[in-house]
Structure 1
Amino acid sequence: MSYDCQRTPVVRDNGRHQWEKDRARAPKAVRFTSGATEHDTGLHRPDLIFHARYREIGAPAELADAFGVPAGTMLLERSYRTRHGAENAPLALVTSYLVHAMIAVNPALLEEANEPWPGGTQSQLHSVGIELDRVEERLVARPPTPAEARDLDLPSGAPVILLRKTSYDVGDRVVNLADVTLPADRTELLFTTRLERW
Structure 2
Amino acid sequence: MGTFVRKPRRRVELNRVERNNDRHQWEKDRVRQARGERLKTGSTEHDTGLEVSDLVFRAEYREAKADADRAAVFGVPVGTRLLERTYRTNCREGFPFALVRSYLVHEVAAANPDLLDEANEPWPGGTQSQLHAIGIELDRVEERITARPPTVEEAGELGLEKGVSVILLRKISVDINGRVVEFSDVTLSGDRTELVFTTPLKRW
Aligned to 1:59: 66
What is the identity, as a one-letter code, of the residue corresponding to 1:74? R
Structure 2 regions of 5+ residues with no counterpart?
1-10
Superimposed CA distance per residue, residues 61-84 of structure 1 (whole angstroms, 9 cap, x where no aligned partner): 110111011111110000001101
Distance 2:109 2:202 in 1: 35
- Tell me which stretches of 4 or more aligned residues in structure 1 moved more than 3 Å: none
Q: Please identify the structure whose Cα radius of gyration is greater.
A: 2
Q: Structure 1 residues 55-64 or 15-24, which shifts more?
A: 55-64
Aligned to 1:93: 99
CA RMSD of aligned residues (A): 1.2
Matches within 5 A, 1:1-198: 6-87=13-94, 89-198=95-204
Identity %: 61
SS in 2 for 1:193: coil
Aligned residue pairs total 194
Superimposed CA distance per residue, residues 82-122 of structure 1 (whole angstroms, 9 cap, x where no aligned partner): 101121x1000000000011111111100111111000000
TM-score, normalised with respect to structure 1: 0.95
Structure 1 regions of 5+ residues with no counterpart?
none
Distance 1:190 1:91 in 2: 16
